[in-house]
Amino acid sequence: MIITYDGRDYPFDLDDVTVKQAMAIEKFMGCNFAEWGKRLQSGEDMAARQALGWVILTGGDRSIPIEDTDFKLVALGNALDKAFAAEAAKTVEAEQAAGPTAAVTVNGHLSAAASSPASSPPSSGEISR
């Protein structure tokens, strides 16, 4: 997805986060990567947003501490909302174009509609520990 913030486009794909970046996020957040994702989706956790800002704005540069990443909170939040909405619209269009029985992937993972028990086993895209 493309996040347009402060006049620049930032490509972001969760699948591109490296293990070292994920470990830095886990250390910063004090929770596992999957929990970070949940906290990020809720939109109410500023530390989760700061970690995402670090990945987006610095490219996850580990020489820059996550806690030093600063940005305009509302502006980045609005940019994220627009990017998520654009991705959701693409998913709906792809599912409609593919028909009711085709599996559609988003970022390499089955969409919610395609991962229903009737069509295939659920896939959360997370690694169990």
| Full-model pTM | 0.68
Q: Which of 21-25, 76-80, 119-123 has the lowest mean pLDDT?
A: 119-123
Structural domain including 16 reads 2-110
Report residue 109's pLDDT band, with 50, 70 and 90 as the boundaries.
Answer: low
Give domain status of residue 115, yes or no.
no
Q: What φ, ψ does residue 8 adopt, rounded to 5°?
A: -125, 150
Give domain status of residue 78, yes or no.
yes
Give domain status of residue 129, yes or no.
no
Collapsed DSSP state (helix, strand, coil) of residue 82? helix
Strand partners, 106: 109
The residues near 24 (Cβ < 8 Å, ≥ 6 apart) are 60, 62, 66
How many structural domains is the chain composed of?
1
Report residue 20's pLDDT band, with 50, 70 and 90 as the boundaries.
Answer: very high
Give domain status of residue 128, yes or no.
no
- Each residue of 36-67: pLDDT tens digit? 999 988 888 999 999 999 999 999 999 999 99
> Which pair of tokens denotes residue 103?
């599996």
Give domain status of residue 82, yes or no.
yes
Give domain status of residue 54, yes or no.
yes
Query: Cβ distance 104 to 95 under 8 Å?
Result: yes
* pLDDT for res 108: 53
Give domain status of residue 118, yes or no.
no
Give domain status of residue 126, yes or no.
no
User: Is 90 exceeded by the pLDDT of residue 94?
Assistant: no
Tell me the average pLDDT across 75-87.
Answer: 90
